[in-house]
A and B are shown apart, each in its own frame.
Chain A
Amino acid sequence: MQELLNIFVKSIFIDNMVFAYFLGMCSYIAVSKTVKTSVGLGLAVIFVLGITVPIGYLMNEFLLKPGALVWLDSEFIDVDLSFLSFIMFIAVIASMVQLVEMIVEKFSPALYASLGIFLPLIAVNCAILGGSLFMQEREYQSLAQATSFALGSGLGWFLAIVGIAAIREKIKYSNVPGPLKGIGITFIITGLMGIAFMSFLGIKL
């Protein structure tokens, strides 16, 4: 249990998707003009990460890892399909996003109305594929660990985009030098926020 909490907190603050790995920067810059839309996108990212990473974990465990096909027959011990992982993960993500969109539209029109336009965008958000790839690279031991990593990174991304959106709403009233207006100052503020987040380095639970 403590291990799970550790992974969760670590992936929110220390290994933050935006500040430590720059994942999902494109939508982070493009959609952070107002707090309201960024909350919507942030929630959608948590949601999709929370679904795709556990599925990716199961696929990695039972299909892709070297020797993962042993559960079918012991003669598959030498089969290594890990070179297929990119195409498998992106296929899972694209189809899950489609599926999630249809389910949400059917059962919760209110949520669909607030997330609607962002869901299709998420298929090409690097944070989602990055979640699956980091999960594979860091070799989490159980499904629960992979899930807590996914939810933690989603929450970290959510915090980052809501934070920058709030700052951008306020900075509109400041006298920024002309050429820096818009994305220039956003980059620099994100860098400063990243430095602030680095103060969490070395926290051990």
Chain B
Amino acid sequence: MAQEGAAGGSLERHCPTYIYKVVLLGSTAVGKSSLAYRYMKNDFQESLPTVGCSFFTKILRMESATVKLEIWDTAGQEKYHSVCHLYYRGAHAALLVYDITNKETLGRAKQWLKELEKEFLHDEIVIALVGNKTDLAEEREVPTEEGEEFARSRSLLFAETSAKSNHQVKDVFMAVALQLLQREAETAPAPRRGQHVDLGASRARTGCCRV
């Protein structure tokens, strides 16, 4: 986007740009698209069922870096499963979304985790477990502690959100971005990894951060 071009030159040395692919996974109708929509437009609307995948981008200007999130919002129906691995390939982060009013959806999120663990090494991907729909508190089936406990046991980020009432949506994406940056600092002394092509990324996009 335009800001990126302007940020070039000497500024870039101080403030590198990182591009991260973030994939939203979870059962159908847990609110993946609504979370993305809330995050992008700060609004809530009834989403259409996602067929395949939809895409969003968000640019975060942080103190130490500019982070560009490429958000892949995938179809939730289990039948699409065999197509879905197309989508999480090369992801830097994943949000495993479940619906706090539907226990089964947490089980499904755990299955997604298993699958991701097959595909990625532990430090290759940042994973957040997200319990959505806190606005439906009276219909809650999954206690906060249950999600939290599971997330802790697998060292995942955890948050309960409501796309509808705008609860902690920004925060969860921000937490993911911060953790990505932190890993960046830990794994590579010189800012290289996300800036160019990630070795783990099968969809190589060379130098697109400078476009």
Whether A associates with B in a native complex is: no
Binding site for A on B (CB under 8 A): none
